[in-house]
Structures are given as C-alpha cells and as structure tokens.
C-alpha cells in the first residue's frame, strides 16, 4: 500500500463510517483516487464466468457503489469485474442511521442499510453511460414495502437489465425483513422463473446469478442447489453477510445487521464448498466473504469458486488490494505450475468437513 493510500484511509477512518463511504465514492467519481487503470491480467488469470470474459477472477462485490455513481473509475480500479447495487424498482431511503459500523479489532463491518438506493431507473441510466471495459453487473432486490417482492425482482430486470452485463438475485440480505424467506425452495423457484422470463425479454441474454446467505444448513444448501439447477441459473454467489457474531471482540459486535469481513471467511467458505459438492461442480460459483489476500482467494477457489469478490477488506487496505490479490494469485499459479481450472474445487472436500 502506497503512502498516499495509507494517508487517505487514515483520514477516512476518522469519520463516521457512512460519511467516509460516501466521501470515498465522491473522491472516485472526481478522479481523486489513484487507480491502476487496467486490471492485472495474464493467460493464467484470464477466465470465463458464465460466458463473461474476465481479465482476472477478482471482482468487486455489490454494496459499495449502490447507485452506480462511480462506475467508470471502479472499472479502472484493477478488478476483473464489478457488481453494483442493490437496486429496487422504486427509490427507498433504507433503514435509519447509524447503520454502518467498523469493527476494526475484527477487520470486519456490520451494516443494516436496508437496500437504500435511488431506484432502478436512475441506476440504469448511469450504468448505460459507462465506457467499454470489464463486465459490470447489477444486484437486484425488492422494495421493503412491496406487496409482491418476487415481482419486484423481475421489474428491476425489465427496467435496468439491458444496462447490465449480468444480474444477481439478492434474496440473502439480512436487512430487509423476511427477505431471506425467499430462499425456500418453492418461493425461490417461482421468483427465479419470473426473473429469467424477464431476462429473456432483454435484447441480449445476460447471465443471472443467485446470491445466498452463509447461515444455511446442509438441507437448505441442497434445496438451493436443486432449484438453481432446475431453473438453470448461470451461477451462485456464496455468500452474503452473516447474522452470526461468533468470536468478535469489537465494542460494536452487538449491533444488528449483516456482518462481513474477516470473521465471515470460514463460515462462507464452508458453505461455498458444500454448495460445490451439492451442485457437482456443474454451476459456476463466485466466492465472497472475508477475502483480504491472495491466499484467501486461493482457498475460495480450492473450495469451488470460479471467481471471487471483495469489499470489506477494501475499507482497511484500499483499492490497491484488487491488483495485489490478482498479482499474487498469478505468481502463485506460476510457482505451483497449476491453473485456475485445476485449482477449482480441489479442496472442496476438506473445506466442506470443517
């Protein structure tokens, strides 16, 4: 990490977390954050994810740029792909503040934003204006006061789907009441069918991913794997934030909301590995949760991931982290004379038993 980046992070950490979050997006959009410009890439790092050509497998998870305010700069921040949102059909303010907490002692974050966003129409217009480059996807959700949340997901696809390179169905956020109920097999199948029908109305086919929670038991994982296969979703993102508070030492540990960052790594990777086994490796998986180094990314790929996403660690290590992970991953693949394809799932059995 360069001195300028260290100073910037130190300054942001003196501010309220949500103020710092907003300021970092403003700084990006104004060109005040030094960025690499092009993602780290090589023959070893280039990969195909559900038809998307990625220069490297290190992506940005949804939640950072909810409103697509800094799309172009994020495309130059070293990521192999970027996910924006979550977007809902109508704008909504989300939950009352404060709703974002740094758990510095645990290298973690708790948020209870509640799908705050400016609505799918505005987000779609910003995404449509982005330059050519790496794939940019949109995480989609439902309005809190909706009478038909399943219909909301399809509505976002109708409004914004044509502006995205991929779409992620988010039924796993813990911050919208009863949203996770949509992960049940019957409700999930109906929701996905509506989303896929809306996707098929778009002028060009977009991959549809499903994002799941880390707080699932083996039976629930098996049900989701079966529904995903039956509906022919293009990939599964494992996982969202957790409701668990195991092992935390921060004074903010008792805050309600979803926990992300380092404490999520073991739990999320275990779910990822069990999902890989449940799907037989036939559905591309994206590993998320607690990744802060190339070794973490390596372990996610061993557990079954075709690609990974980061977010919380950026708050502690800065945007240079994406390039560092990609570079170190490339060097390790070279040193161990292996490929991403050979590595994928090679440690799933070990991780699934933890």
Sort residue 157 into left (φ over 0), alpha (ψ -120 to 50) or beta.
alpha
Is 311 marked within a binding site? yes
Q: Is 114 annotated as a binding residue?
A: yes
CA distance 301 to 164: 25
Where residue 247 falls (left for φ over 0; alpha for ψ -120 to 50; beta otherwise) is left
- Show the tokens assigned to 76: 């130059």
Which residue among the candidates 146, 173, 260, 306 is catalytic per the annotation? 173
Q: Is 175 annotated as a binding-site member?
A: yes
- In order of 184, 243, 252, 307, the CA distances from 77 in angstroms are 37, 30, 30, 17
Nearest partner of 262 among 252, 248, 281, judged by Cα: 248
65 has binding-site annotation: yes
Q: Give the whole-angstrom CA distance, residue 309 versus residue 140.
A: 17
What does the block give as tokens for 277? 């086994």
CA–CA dist 117, 113 (Å, integer): 10
Is residue 235 marked as binding? no
> Is 119 assigned a ligand-binding role in the annotation?
no
86 is in an annotated binding site: yes
Q: How far apart are the first and last CA of the chain?
A: 33
- Do the annotations mark residue 133 as ligand-binding? no
Query: 115: annotated binding-site residue?
Result: yes
Could you confirm whether 172 is annotated as catalytic? no
CA distances from 171 to 151, 152, 209, 335 (A): 13, 12, 11, 39
CB under 8 A, 24+ apart: contacts of 183-190: 183/212, 183/213, 183/216, 183/220, 183/224, 184/223, 185/223, 185/224, 185/226, 185/227, 187/150, 188/223, 188/224, 188/227, 189/227, 189/230, 189/231, 190/150
63 annotated as ligand-binding: yes
| Residue 162, annotated as binding a ligand | no
143 is in an annotated binding site: no
Burial of 327 per CB tally in 10 Å (0-12, 13-18, 19+)? middle
Distance, CA of 171 to CA of 191 (rounded, Å): 10
95 is in an annotated binding site: no
Question: Known binder of ligand: residue 139?
Answer: yes
Residues at the binding site for substrate are 66, 111-115, 170, 175, 240-241
Residues at the binding site for FMN are 62-66, 86, 139, 170, 211, 239, 261, 290, 311-312
Residues at the binding site are 62-66, 86, 111-115, 139, 170, 175, 211, 239-241, 261, 290, 311-312
Catalytic residues: 173
């Amino acid at each position: 990490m360069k001195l300028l980046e260290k100073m910037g992070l130190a300054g942001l950490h003196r501010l309220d977390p949500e103020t710092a979050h907003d300021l970092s997006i403003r700084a990006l959009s104004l060109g005040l954050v030094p960025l690499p410009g092009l993602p780290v890439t090589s023959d070893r790092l280039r990969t195909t994810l559900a038809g998307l050509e990625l220069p490297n497998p290190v992506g940005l998870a949804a939640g950072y740029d909810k409103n697509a305010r800094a799309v172009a700069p994020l495309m130059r921040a070293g990521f192999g792909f970027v996910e924006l949102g979550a977007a809902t059909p109508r704008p909504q303010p989300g939950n009352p503040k404060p709703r974002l907490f740094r758990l510095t002692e645990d290298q973690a974050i708790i948020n209870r934003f509640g799908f705050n966003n400016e609505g799918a129409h505005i987000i779609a217009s910003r995404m449509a204006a982005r330059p050519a480059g790496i794939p940019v996807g949109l995480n989609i959700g439902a309005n809190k006061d909706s009478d038909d949340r399943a219909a909301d997901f399809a509505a976002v696809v109708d409004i914004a789907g044509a502006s995205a390179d991929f779409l992620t169905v988010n039924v796993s956020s813990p911050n919208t009441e009863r949203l996770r109920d949509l992960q049940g097999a019957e409700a999930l199948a109906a929701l996905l069918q509506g989303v896929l029908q809306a996707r098929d109305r778009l002028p060009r086919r977009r991959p549809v991913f499903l994002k799941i929670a880390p707080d699932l038991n083996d039976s629930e994982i098996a049900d989701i794997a079966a529904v995903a296969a039956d509906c022919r979703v293009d990939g599964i993102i494992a996982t969202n934030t957790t409701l668990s508070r195991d092992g935390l030492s921060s004074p903010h540990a008792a805050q309600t909301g979803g926990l992300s960052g380092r404490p999520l790594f073991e739990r999320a990777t275990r779910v990822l590995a069990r999902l890989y086994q449940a799907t037989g490796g036939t559905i591309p998986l994206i590993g998320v949760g607690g990744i802060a180094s190339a070794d973490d990314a390596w372990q996610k790929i061993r557990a079954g991931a075709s690609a990974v996403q980061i977010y919380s660690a950026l708050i502690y290590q800065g945007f240079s982290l994406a390039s560092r992970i990609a570079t170190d991953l490339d060097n390790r693949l070279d040193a161990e004379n292996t490929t991403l394809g050979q590595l994928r799932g090679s440690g799933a059995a070990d991780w699934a038993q933890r």
